[in-house]
Structure 1
Amino acid sequence: MKTLSGTLWGLVLAGLTAGAPAADLELEGNRLLVSGTLDGSAVKDFETHLAGGKVRTVVFENALGGSAEVAGDYARAIQAAGVNTEVKGQCQAACAYAFLAGKEHRFGRGFQVHALLIPMVGRPQPAELVTRWRGDEAQHTLAEFTTPAGGAAHGASDAAAAPAIAPEDGAKERWQPNQGVLFTSSPTLFGRVRNTFYCDGTQGRDLSRCELLPDADPYKLGVLTP
């Protein structure tokens, strides 16, 4: 299967190209729903919810965009609380790295199309994919985007050790819209179909131009947990 169906691409495209409102939080029992752009406006409330000990799962639902620094803030709070994470619908950029910080990280159930776009500065090599997003390695990848321009990538062993870098310190937002590795899961009559693509950002609205990555099952790569 070289590309996804036109219907699925349309649903993914709607998420990848549409603007999103600021982050919104909604507590439903022991599940904290997070939607919108992770722009930093809800970080304190997010940390307060997780520190309370009631939340067991953070659900990212159509959470699009956000900065690398804010991704680190969300990831640190998730790791400190030891909660699980889940994606429903679209999860991109800052959301993707916050999602990977969960103790267990999964796509939601039901008949919804799920898509996780993890920013990367270039096409990953097959050997690199095997460990790229397992445990602390996800935060090493995030450091590529938070290192000041001209500086070396931060070598912290975990998210808690990675310092926030203020704009005045030279931090540069280096991930680009629609660029990175795209993991998709779509419902069919015979169960869910999963695919993994690399999108270099030049595809514009034609996401069918993204390159299919063979042998890149998200469970094997550690992007999703059983």
Structure 2
Amino acid sequence: MVAVLLFACLACSAAELDLQGSRLVVSGMLDGSAIKTFTEHLGKGTVRTVVFEDSFGGTAEAAGAYADAIRASGVDTEIRGQCMAACAYAFLAGKAHRFGYGLQVNGVLLPVAARPTAAELAVRWRGEEAHKTLAEFTPIAAAAPIQATETRAAGTPRDSARDNWQPEHGVLFTASPTLFGRIYNAFYCDGTQGRDFSKCERLPDADPFKLGVLTP
């Protein structure tokens, strides 16, 4: 089922916004370039659902800004297609957060520093816990430009901690349409699989609804 998720973006465009009645569709990388316009749309009070469509990452700072705006406005969020890394945390900020309907395969990949235990899975993405998890990455992302310069000057390897904020490293939840309804699966991707997500480790008993990743 995850074979269709092999595409990952190397040169994606910046975030694009498309207001469709009470739905605001966000696609592309969450790099912060559209956050002002995004916040203005939500501030008008006419948007009820933010739809993330094929957003393959972005920066931790942008993820935090989108999440704050979504949380403050109390709108719902929805995924249509793929929502990875930065997009995933913005998605979790919705009052209700769901996968969209249709024939497409939907997937959300949440970055993690290490393989979560069963106990961590049970609470990690519920309410404020999702915000705390994002905060683990924000200082790393903010310091990355300085550290990268120092690394190049010293000729030393990159700090592996910063590599955790990558689209291919995290817990991936997918929903695939079938004739009998949707099939939900969860996988841990440690990054060694590159962009071939079919090689990720399947996680048993990781229902996205029970874990709070999706709401009914």
Asked if residue 35 in structure 1 is aligned to residue 27 in structure 2, the reply is: yes
Letter matched to residue 180 of structure 1:
G
Q: CA–CA distance in 2 between the matches of 1:173 and 1:51? A: 34
2:197 alignment partner, one of 198, 207, 218: 207
Asked if residue 48 in structure 1 is aligned to residue 45 in structure 2, the reply is: no
Q: What runs of 5+ residues in structure 2 fail to find an aligned partner?
A: 149-161
SS at match of 1:221: coil
SS at match of 1:98: helix
TM-superposed CA distance for 1:64, in Å, is: 1.3
Could you list the per-position Cα deviations for residues 81-131 of structure 1 after superposition, in whole angstroms to 9, with x for gaps in the alignment? 000000000000110000000000000001110010111111000010000
Q: CA–CA distance in 2 between the matches of 1:179 and 1:224? A: 20
TM-superposed CA distance for 1:209, in Å, is: 1.7
SS at match of 1:65: coil
> Which has the higher mean CA deviation after the structures are superposed, 168-177 or 96-105?
168-177
Whether the 8 Å contact between 2:84 and 2:167 is mirrored in structure 1 is no
Which residue of structure 1 lines up, in the alignment, with residue 54 of structure 2? Answer: 62
Q: CA–CA distance in 2 between the matches of 1:114 and 1:66? A: 18
TM-superposed CA distance for 1:25, in Å, is: 0.2
Whether the 8 Å contact between 2:109 and 2:167 is mirrored in structure 1 is no
Letter matched to residue 193 of structure 1:
I
2:84 alignment partner, one of 82, 88, 92: 92
Letter matched to residue 214 of structure 1:
P
Could you list the per-position Cα deviations for residues 38-81 of structure 1 after superposition, in whole angstroms to 9, with x for gaps in the alignment? 01110000000000101000000001110111100000000010
Asked if residue 217 in structure 1 is aligned to residue 207 in structure 2, the reply is: yes
1:104 alignment partner, one of 65, 82, 96: 96
Could you list the per-position Cα deviations for residues 169-198 of structure 1 after superposition, in whole angstroms to 9, with x for gaps in the alignment? 879674123000000000011111000000
Q: CA–CA distance in 1 between the matches of 2:146 and 2:46? A: 36
Which residue of structure 1 lines up, in the alignment, with residue 130 of structure 2? Answer: 138
Alignment of 1:134-213 (within 5 A): 134-148=126-140, 174-213=164-203
RMSD: 1.9
TM-superposed CA distance for 1:167, in Å, is: 6.3
Which residue of structure 1 lines up, in the alignment, with residue 71 of structure 2? Answer: 79
Task: Call closer, same or farther: CA 1:42–1:17 in 2, change over 3 Å.
Answer: closer
Whether the 8 Å contact between 1:145 and 1:173 is mirrored in structure 2 is no
User: TM-score, normalising length from structure 1?
Assistant: 0.84
1:12 alignment partner, one of 5, 8, 11: 5
Whether the 8 Å contact between 1:119 and 1:181 is mirrored in structure 2 is yes
Which residue of structure 2 lines up, in the alignment, with residue 156 of structure 1? Answer: none
SS at match of 1:95: helix
Q: CA–CA distance in 1 between the matches of 2:202 and 2:73? A: 35
Q: CA–CA distance in 2 between the matches of 1:195 and 1:12? A: 13
SS at match of 1:37: coil
Q: CA–CA distance in 1 between the matches of 2:78 and 2:207? A: 17
Q: CA–CA distance in 2 between the matches of 1:136 and 1:169? A: 29
